[in-house]
């Protein structure tokens, strides 16, 4: 098979993995080599679906001995199969890298023969890159459940980040849809990586130049919408993963119906993009805004509000917390204001040391006031013409049509009387697109 066909097949079957970040390490090229990484990560392009393209994201092979029901590569699926040789993959990476197409490589794989053999193939590709080409660019490798700790360690000494996908938000769903995997087989490598990283940290304090194990840590991914878990369950699981395994990121992937199966949503089902988006917003709140999962959702409100983002939703339910005085509020408090992000909050903190701020000053700082103005006072005054009432705030956040729908959906900010949430009316589709591109 020629390289074009191979690349097409192995890209096509890798594209459902959503992780493509290249962040978390700072490094310049080694002597006689090429490649660097920057901790903020770099997007090299954006695909037609609006997602960042940072890494050459491909599978080593799309052949697989397993039969996970939701996966295009499952054994029982009748599709053409192909495999990169480690050298082919390494060379392609270098050629792309030199042209600045990519920040590095993200290699995942179907399970060919067994977990050990598959991992060895990936190790060989990475060895060629790191040792023959002296490549210091970013590498993300998939940890294959079932591979030995020795192999995982070897892979981890070559890669910057590893991910072991948890795939499904609960053990039951995993059992049902991925009969060859168990929660145990997924959590085991995660635990190993966590412990090995702690050990490596100690090695590094003893000897600063000790080789580094996965400097950008580990991440995971789960599929949303193929199984019946609630948002609350998913968010709690996410929080648990961050706390227990020290994960750098948890990714969510709205299920794309690629397979006809009685256990799965019909092929005509639309991916739950809005839900996925809300999960990412909530995930940001956990990681950067010092929120707890229990503040975002609880047994009484186990689902996200489709009309209002989680932070705004929290604010609407905690009107007593606001308005906050811009010139006095702490950093943590500012982060609770809808429309204020980490950057804005930091800018405010810095600027108000020199002079007390009014709304004009906020604008100059690049703070977007569309939402924030309802929740802030400057020198004790609210913004002209703004009334701090739940109703007004809501109306300003939505279009007229949305507001009416919101009203007729009986979905009240206090969480009472909600109808089925994740079948929002079709008119919303466009707004989803809008909010997918926006920030919290």
Footprint of ligand SF4 on this chain (CB under 6 A)? 64, 66, 68, 71, 73-74, 110-111, 178
**CA dist., res. 438 & res. 440, Å (int):** 7
Q: Per-residue b/e over 218-256, b at no fewer than 16 CB within 10 Å?
A: bbbbbbbbbbebebbebbbbbbebbeebebbbbbbbbbb
State how far Cα 385 lies from the chain centre.
38
**Residue 110 vs 310, nearer CB to ligand SF4:** 110
Task: Kindly write out the interface string for residues 354-393 of this chain, putting x where it contacts another protein by CB under 8 A and - elsewhere.
Answer: xx-x--xx--xxx---------------------------
Distances in Å between the Cα of 406 and the Cα atoms of 306, 389, 403, 432 are: 9, 16, 5, 15
Distances in Å between the Cα of 39 and the Cα atoms of 72, 160, 294, 301, 315 are: 33, 11, 30, 37, 32
Which 3-state string (H, E, C) describes 91-143? Answer: HHHHHHHHCCCCCEEEEECCCCCCHHHHHHHHHHHHHHHHHHCCECCEEEEEC
**Residue 66 vs 97, nearer CB to ligand SF4:** 66
Asked if 419 touches another protein (CB under 8 A), the answer is no
Q: Least Å distance between CB 33 and another protein?
A: 7
Report what 408 binds from ligand SF4, another protein, none; CB cut-off 5-8 Å by kind. none
**Residue 223 vs 345, nearer CB to ligand SF4:** 223
Give the one residue of 45, 396, 408, 416 binding another protein; rule: CB under 8 A: 45
CB 307 within 8 A of CB 411: yes
State how far Cα 217 lies from the chain centre.
14
Give the one residue of 246, 265, 271, 302 binding another protein; rule: CB under 8 A: 271
**Residue 58 vs 315, nearer CB to another protein:** 58
Asked if 225 touches another protein (CB under 8 A), the answer is no
Q: Residue 246: which region, alpha, beta or left (left: phi > 0; alpha: psi -120 to 50)?
A: left
**Residue 95 vs 191, nearer CB to another protein:** 95
Q: Is 324 helix (H, G, I), strand (E, B) or coil?
A: strand
State how far Cα 195 lies from the chain centre.
23
Asked if 177 touches another protein (CB under 8 A), the answer is no
Structure tokens at 56: 């050459």
**Residue 188 vs 333, nearer CB to ligand SF4:** 188
Q: Least Å distance between CB 75 and ligand SF4?
A: 7
Give the one residue of 209, 353, 400, 417 binding another protein; rule: CB under 8 A: 353
Report what 4 binds from another protein, ligand SF4, none; CB cut-off 5-8 Å by kind. another protein
**CA dist., res. 167 & res. 181, Å (int):** 10
Whose structure tokens read 């705030």? 393
Asked if 346 touches another protein (CB under 8 A), the answer is no
Q: Which residues bind another protein (CB under 8 A)?
A: 3-4, 7-8, 11-12, 15-16, 28-29, 32-36, 38, 40, 42-54, 56-57, 92, 95-96, 98-101, 103, 137, 254, 256, 270-271, 273, 347, 350-351, 353-355, 357, 360-361, 364-366, 433-434, 436-437
């Amino acid at each position: 098979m020629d390289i074009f066909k191979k690349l097409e097949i192995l890209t096509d079957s890798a594209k459902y993995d959503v992780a493509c970040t290249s962040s978390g390490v700072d490094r310049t090229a080694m002597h006689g080599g090429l490649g660097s990484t920057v901790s903020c990560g770099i997007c090299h392009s954006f695909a037609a679906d609006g997602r960042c393209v940072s890494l050459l994201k491909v599978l080593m092979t799309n052949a697989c001995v397993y039969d996970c029901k939701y996966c295009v590569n499952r054994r029982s699926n009748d599709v053409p199969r192909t495999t990169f040789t480690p050298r082919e993959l390494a060379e392609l990476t270098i050629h792309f890298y030199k042209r600045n197409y990519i920040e590095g490589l993200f290699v995942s794989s179907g399970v060919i023969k067994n977990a050990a053999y598959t991992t060895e193939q990936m190790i060989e590709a990475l060895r060629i890159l790191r040792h023959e080409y002296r490549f210091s660019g970013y590498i993300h490798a998939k940890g294959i459940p079932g591979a030995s700790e020795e192999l995982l360690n070897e892979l981890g000494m070559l890669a910057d980040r590893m991910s072991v996908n948890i795939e499904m938000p609960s053990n039951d769903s995993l059992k049902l849809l991925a009969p060859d995997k168990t929660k145990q087989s997924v959590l085991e490598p995660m635990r190993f990586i966590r412990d090995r990283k702690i050990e490596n940290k100690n090695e590094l304090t003893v000897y600063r130049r000790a080789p580094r194990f996965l400097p950008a840590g580990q991440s995971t991914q789960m599929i949303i919408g193929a199984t019946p878990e609630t948002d609350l369950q998913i968010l709690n699981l996410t929080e648990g993963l961050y706390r227990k395994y020290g994960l750098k990121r948890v990714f969510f992937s709205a299920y794309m119906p690629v397979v006809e199966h009685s256990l799965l949503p019909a092929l005509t089902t639309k991916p739950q993009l809005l839900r996925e988006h809300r999960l990412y917003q909530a995930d940001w709140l956990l990681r950067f805004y010092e929120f707890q999962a229990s503040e975002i959702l609880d047994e009484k409100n186990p689902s996200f509000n489709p009309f209002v983002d989680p932070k705004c939703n929290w604010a609407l339910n905690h009107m007593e917390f606001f308005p906050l005085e811009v010139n006095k509020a702490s950093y943590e408090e500012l982060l609770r204001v809808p429309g204020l992000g980490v950057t804005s909050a930091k800018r405010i903190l810095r600027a108000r040391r020199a002079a007390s701020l009014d709304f004009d000053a906020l604008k100059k700082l690049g703070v977007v006031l569309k939402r924030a103005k309802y929740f802030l006072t400057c020198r004790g005054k609210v913004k002209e013409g703004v009334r701090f009432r739940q109703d007004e705030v809501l109306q300003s956040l939505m279009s007229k049509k949305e507001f009416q729908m919101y009203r007729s959906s009986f979905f009240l900010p206090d969480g009472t009387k909600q109808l089925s949430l994740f079948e929002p009316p079709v008119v919303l589709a466009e707004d989803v697109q809008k909010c997918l591109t926006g920030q919290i």
